[in-house]
Amino acid sequence: MKDDAGSTNVIQLSDHFDYKRLIRFTLPSVAMMVFTSLYTIVDGYFVSNFVGKTPFAALNLIYPYVQLLTCFGFIFGTGGAALIAKTLGEGNREKANGIFSFVVYVSIASSVVLAVLGWIFLEPAARLLGAEGEMLDYCIMYGSILLFAAPVFTLQTEFPPFFVTAEKPKLGLFVTVVSGLTNMALDAIFVGVLSFGLAGAAYATVAAQLVGGVVPIVYFGRKNSSLLRLGRPRKDMKALGRTVTNGASEVMTSVSLSLVSMLYNVQLLKFEGEDGVAAYGALMYLNFIFISIFLGYSSGVSPVISYHYGAKNREELKGLLKKSVILIGATSLVMLAIAEFASGPLSYIFVGYDEGLLSLTERAFFIYAFSFPFVGLAIYSSAFFTALNNGLVSAIISFLRTFFFQVVAVLVLPLIFATDGIWMSGVVSELLAAACGALFIYSKRKKYGYL
């Protein structure tokens, strides 16, 4: 049997995973997330450098609102993948495919409803976030275009975990690369060459989402060589409930990050004005590149954890946890070193045209990068419990990490350290979240037998 690349050395969920096999299996997911982060920032690069500071600030002000309305993709993708992989581990492939089909169809219907609601409340939301005048117009225009493609945006975020669960991570990477190249090419044409402005960046994003959302539907809807296929849904409300519960941490992350990003922008408008929002946008793009490694690894290893949990293979769970912590810890330190040395050149990519904005962004990234030694463990611990089908613990870790600690920090620290306190908020929140994640992993060791 051959995998997607034609190799006869297929890695299956049921295998024993040493370091080499673990890295090989998760590497496509890591590459997928890194590439996603790269093509995501292309919009920001072209808008910032070819359109201007105000449209760039508007993009970053309204994007969290759009992301908030497409978060169901994370629920159904991660939560559904955990349940489906567990079901496969129990040896019931037919049931797994029925749940897979039901989850995908429900996610499409849900995304359409949310898109309609998003259009209705778009302008009030933009005004609430502080947009006015020209920035308000840009927010409404950009948000309207993206919401038109909300259903495929949801599917695009939903399918990567399903590709891994189907033992086709390389195919998932291929779809992501094609989607990303579509976005990059059209950004260059629409914004760089044809000067369509912020609207051009939005159209490029929509085109990429169409590729990332429709291609998987076509693949899984036909006879294929993977473990999963779309077909007659298994109407199982209990399974749907477990999917939503399992994916609660991921939607918590998406919702929280969107709300917290809005709060950061409000605070930055107060302390630094439009420059603060632009600097935060550049910072989040850079941050996404780095943490995408942890997000990709956690996504890639989760179906393996779920499978062996369903198969009651505790020894394999022990090995997966130990190896994951070591890999994440080593990667964290390397990332911190790279970020501190490269904060200036990386910031220059986005805001090199404005000396004051460049100085603000460079300092923001230099401070924020100290969160990297902690963010990997925080992300992994939440994903670990999602994979174990313990959505409650996963959601608690996610809520503390992406919302509670962040909100408290960004409201309190600026009162002491002014703008620097806003950048420090990420460091403090990730440190506390990592500590909580480690505490939960230790406290649940006897129940799951991974220590």
Distance (Å, rounded) from C-alpha 198 to C-alpha 209?
A: 17
Q: Is pLDDT above 90 for 14?
A: no
Task: Assess contact for 309 and 349: CB atoms under 8 A.
Answer: no
Confidence bin at 249 (pLDDT 50/70/90): low
Measured CA to CA in angstroms, residue 74 lies from 153, 155, 160, 294 at distances of: 11, 9, 10, 16
Burial classification of residue 178, based on how many CB atoms lie within 10 Å of its CB (0-12 exposed, 13-18 middle, 19 or more buried): middle
Distance (Å, rounded) from C-alpha 283 to C-alpha 100?
A: 36
* Better-scored residue on pLDDT, 167 or 36: 167
Q: Among residues 168, 177, 131, 135, which one has the least CA distance to residue 32?
A: 177
pLDDT (mean) for 44-71: 84
* Better-scored residue on pLDDT, 67 or 298: 298
Q: What is the mean pLDDT of the chain?
A: 88
Confidence at residue 2, expressed as pLDDT on a 0 to 100 scale: 41
pLDDT (mean) for 326-332: 96
Task: Assess contact for 160 and 15: CB atoms under 8 A.
Answer: no
Full-model pTM: 0.75
Confidence at residue 251, expressed as pLDDT on a 0 to 100 scale: 67
Show me where the domains of the chain are located: 19-448
Q: Is pLDDT above 80 for 69?
A: no
φ, ψ of residue 426 in degrees (nearest 5): -65, -40
Q: Tell me the pLDDT tens digit for each residue of 122-142.
A: 999 999 888 889 999 999 999
Confidence bin at 68 (pLDDT 50/70/90): confident
Confidence bin at 5 (pLDDT 50/70/90): very low
pLDDT (mean) for 179-189: 93
Sequence-distant (≥ 6) Cβ neighbours of residue 123 within 8 angstroms: 136, 140
Amino acid at 391: G
Helices 355-368 & 314-351 angle (0-180, nearest 10): 160
Q: Is pLDDT above 80 for 332?
A: yes
pLDDT (mean) for 99-120: 92
